[in-house]
Amino acid sequence: MVEILSTEPILIRFGVLSSKRRALSRTGLNNSNTSVCVPFYSRRSDAPAPTSHIMKSLLLIIFLLAVIPSVHAQQLGLITNTDGRKTISLDGQWQAIIDPYESGYYDYRYQPSTNGYFKDEKPKTKSDLIEYDFDKSPTLKVPGDWNTQSDQLLFYEGTVWYKKSFDYQRKPNTRLFVYFGAANYATDVYLNGEKLGQHEGGFTAFNFEITTLVRDTGNFLIVKVDNKRRRDAVPTLMTDWWNYGGITREVKLVETPATFVQDYSIQLQKGSRDRISGWVKLSGDKLNQQVTIRIPEAAISRSFTTDATGTAAINFTADLKLWSPENPKLYDVAIDTETDQVHDQIGFRSIETRGTDILLNGKPIFLRGICIHEEAPFRGGRAYSREDAQTLLRWAKELGVNFVRLAHYPHNEWMVREADKMGIMVWSEIPVYWTILWENPATLQNARNQVTEMIARDRNRASVIIWSMANETPLSDARLSFLRKLIEHARSLDAGRLLSAAMERHYTDDHTQMIDDPLGEYLDVLGCNEYVGWYDGLPDKADRLEWKTKYQKPVVMSEFGGDALYGHHGDALTRWTEEYQENLYRHQLDMLKRISFLRGTAPWILMDFRSPRRPLPYIQDFHNRKGLISDRGERKKAFYVMQQYYRELERLGK
């Protein structure tokens, strides 16, 4: 029996809810479905049912189900390439209310309130009691984490409510979406007092359709962001980076035609260097259309017809200049339909493995890499801008890289877009990190959704060559089952890229490291993190080590290194000094050169970054100091050791 608690009209949304959305939505409202107001009436649970009202309401629901166009009943996923659309930025200052007890969402019985902060109510008389006011509250910058915008919020983990007001002139035959680049971690979104939906995950984009809810004037968008760590979340309670909360990436309104190109995959067919294969997916009520793929520079124009679901498979030969670090060629690609047109800058390249080799465009390549956290250079906090991406990637290029590992979660879109332009290959991963709840179905579904959203945004980026499923996860049968399911899911979404993970390794004796993690059977590239000389002995221990693997697959040393405070000096055995770090890198490189199956290195890490696990006063001060560059942009001595090694590899054609 349903007990109706309000005399207000209830917002009924029709659509297919995935199990993920059902689990996420506290109110039962979903993001992209048509909204209709059906009047229900308040009654006590013991009162007789107002039969006539209920019957009228049920008849109205049946009628609406019959007349609502089918497009509105579909669950809409991520809109790809929003920069190729007409957009209106909502970035800037947003009013914000800090809510550590979530009293803006729950009542004093800890039940969801029907009259929370999302209503943005104002007193109508001098006697009205309302205990919040967005308009008189301080502001926070969006995009941006809240931790670095106020000293009081540096360590804050909890809920913050955001409000943005805007006007919008509605247009005929136009749909409107609100798009979030990311918000950390659990996000509830409301427009004009009505819930659009919820998103879980702090590093992937999401959008909600607001076509039927937006007004010409006086719109108020309210966003509840909660960055509390949870044992069942992805990532889980313990990580080694700062838990930056807030709306950390761009927010914008996205306009589309009534039927539009929602998503597409236009890449070289796996194993080919002259055949493009993929698909185009439409959303709307005119799903059966002709779709034309044009690459003007290559004199290509090919047409296809969508099926009843709005999907068109594409496949055709193409004579193209292939994307590579030496020649990061991007083509203007147009997707034309009868109702829409979208342009993208796409590079074409092949990536595969053969034995222990990684092949780019059919030729063996060594991944000269570096790990990067999404930490802003100079100012600190979460990186989010094109300028941040350009700075970090230019520093990486100065080091001599052709490859970056974007740890430990999908970074903002500027990073992969700029990597496309700069010729830097990318390893992108989801935050399945350390001690995930392997046997929890909701945790698996969360991780699957993050894989889906990571791939959906970046599947057309030539720079992305590796999807990574996990980092340093302890061995168990449950863990292997969990990760195998993620791997299968990733391959079903994108069969053309390589899959990897930072696996476990162990000593078989004092001088031998073995790579035989059972996860390796299911991966294309084996990632391995090791800290010989820092957590594992002194730097000269590396001189005595031999590495073995049970797999005939390429290995990338996906982390190694040690801490040094820039400007702190001493001898080569004094920890935290630049000299210790420099010495460690010299011994590491001598060891790595002896590994015959090694096909890439990605030291930890490009730049120092904040971490609550690193409190040592005057040295760490809540920073991980393993960066080759300080958080103020200063190069440490080890930077030049690594740079020299990469320059030598490049000279040798690797």
pLDDT digits (tens, 9 = 90+) for 240-274: 999 999 999 999 999 999 999 999 999 999 999 99
Closest CA to 236 of 185, 295, 277: 185
What are the φ and ψ backbone dihedral angles of 556, each rounded to 5 degrees?
-115, 125
User: Could you tell me which of 485, 476, 21, 439 has the C-alpha nearest to residue 231?
Assistant: 439
Question: What's the pTM?
Answer: 0.88
Encoded amino acid at 605, one letter: I
Residue that wins the pLDDT comparison between 381 and 61? 381
* SS3 state at 437: coil
- Rounded to whole angstroms, the Cα distance separating 305 from 292 reads 9
Q: Is 561:532 a contact under the CB 8 Å cutoff? A: no
- Residue 339 burial by CB count (10 A; 0-12/13-18/19+): exposed, middle or buried? middle
d(CA 348, CA 317): 12
- Report residue 40's pLDDT band, with 50, 70 and 90 as the boundaries: very low
Least confident of 63-72, 121-130, 337-346: 63-72
- Write the CA distances from 439 to 232, 435, 436, 480, integer angstroms: 10, 11, 9, 11
Q: Is the pLDDT of residue 239 over 60?
A: yes
According to the model, what pLDDT value does residue 67 have? 31
Contacts (Cβ under 8 Å, ≥6 apart) of 299 = none
Q: Which amino acid is at 521?
A: E
pLDDT at 51: 41
Cα 480 from chain centroid (whole Å) = 23
| Angle between helices 386-399 and 413-422 in degrees, nearest 10 | 40
pLDDT given for residue 370 in this prediction: 98
Q: Are 383 and 412 in contact (CB under 8 A)?
A: yes
- For residue 170, pLDDT beyond 70: yes
Helix (H) or strand (E) holding 9: none
CB 590 within 8 A of CB 560: no
pLDDT > 70 fraction of the chain, expressed in percent and rounded: 89
Contacts of 618 (CB under 8 A, 6+ apart): none
Mean pLDDT across the stretch 516-530? 98
- Average pLDDT of the chain to the nearest whole number: 90
**Bridge partners, residue 404, by sequence:** 370, 426
Q: Given this model, what pLDDT does residue 30 score?
A: 35
Instruction: State the chain's maximal CA–CA distance in angstroms.
Output: 87
421-450 average pLDDT score: 98
Please give the pLDDT value at position 455.
Answer: 98
For range 409-426, the mean pLDDT: 98
Of 545, 541, 595, 539, nearest to 563 by C-alpha is: 539
pLDDT tens for 555-608 read 999 999 999 999 999 999 999 999 999 999 999 999 999 999 999 999 999 999
- pLDDT score at 76: 77
Ramachandran bin of 493, using left for φ above 0, alpha for ψ from -120 to 50, beta for the remaining angles: alpha
Q: Which domains does the chain show, CATH number per domain? A: 10-73 (no CATH), 82-257 (2.60.120.260), 271-349 (2.60.40.10), 352-651 (3.20.20.80)
pLDDT tens figures, 132-158: 999 999 999 999 999 999 999 999 999
pLDDT at 61 over 60: no
